[in-house]
Amino acid sequence: MSRQVVLLRGVNLGPHQRVAMADLRTALTGAGFERVVTHLQSGNVVLDSDLSGAKLGPAVARVLADRLGLRSDVIVRSASELAAAIDADPFSDIATDPARHVLGFLAGAPGPDKVALIEQRIAALPSDGDRHAFHGAHLYLWCPNGISKSPYFRVPWDRLGVSSTQRNWNTVTALLRLVGD
């Protein structure tokens, strides 16, 4: 069994897709996953599974739909994949506030044509020190004036053609600690 980070997209962000983390843990444990823990209320799960990341995401999505009536994209990272994403951070030297520093988890590396379209969209937006970078199946954001005030808040990330979900650096580093347990 390997320890995996499971990230649910769009859970508990508004009035829809609401789920209690205790119910999520119960559903996943009942489906056979072990050492299931959650972090915060936004769909961050660490668990043990024999499944590869490519099979674990769809398996968790089925559990969510069947047991909780929840429809969510699921993105999975192993401990080593999460550590590598953190190590690859291009903004580690300037990101001074982990609440304004974001790691975007993509279901796969977006095609260059999709990235180019997003880059065009971003170039048309005002910026006040905001920075971004793509690296494989990850997106890095530094929003020194806050995420909700950032022009990145208006970027249609779904146009990358792959599912994505974002977490601030506080959450990312907490997940790394949890997956290492």
Asked whether residue 77 falls in the same domain as residue 89, the answer is no
- Mind giving me the DSSP string for 17-67? S---HHHHHHHHHHTT-EEEEEETTTTEEEEEESS-HHHHHHHHHHHHHHH
pTM confidence score: 0.94
- Do 73 and 11 share a structural domain? yes
Q: How many domains does the chain have?
A: 2
pLDDT tens profile 83-115: 999 999 999 999 999 999 999 999 999 999 999
| pLDDT surpasses 90 at 18 | no
Q: Cβ-count burial of 7 within 10 angstroms (0-12 exposed, 13-18 middle, 19+ buried)?
A: buried
Do 23 and 91 fall into the same domain? no
One domain for residues 74 and 148 = no
Give the H/E segment covering residue 105: strand 101-106
Instruction: Let me know whether 60 and 104 are in one domain.
Output: no
Band (11; pLDDT cuts 50, 70, 90):
confident
Domain boundary residue, one of 30, 60, 81 = 81
The pLDDT assigned to 73 comes to 95
- Structural domain of 115: 82-180
pLDDT tens-place string over residues 31-76: 999 999 999 988 999 999 999 989 999 999 999 999 999 999 999 9
Q: Do 142 and 66 fall within a single domain? A: no
Category of 12 on φ-ψ map: left (φ > 0), alpha (ψ -120 to 50) or beta: left
My answer on whether 35 and 114 are in the same domain is: no
pLDDT of residue 15: 76
Burial class (CB in 10 A: 0-12, 13-18, 19+), 150: buried
Where does a domain end: 50, 81, 112? 81
Average pLDDT, the chain: 95
Domain final position from 81, 114, 138? 81
Domain check: are 89 and 176 in the same one?
yes
Residue 132 and residue 158 in one domain: yes
The pairing of strands 2-8 and 34-39 is unpaired
Distances (CA, A) of 142 to 47, 102, 130: 29, 6, 6
Please state, in angstroms and as integers, the Cα–Cα distance from residue 169 to each residue in 99, 141, 166, following that order: 6, 10, 10
The SS3 assignment for 155 reads coil
Give the pLDDT band (50/70/90) at residue 17: confident
Only one residue has tokens 């929840």, namely: 70
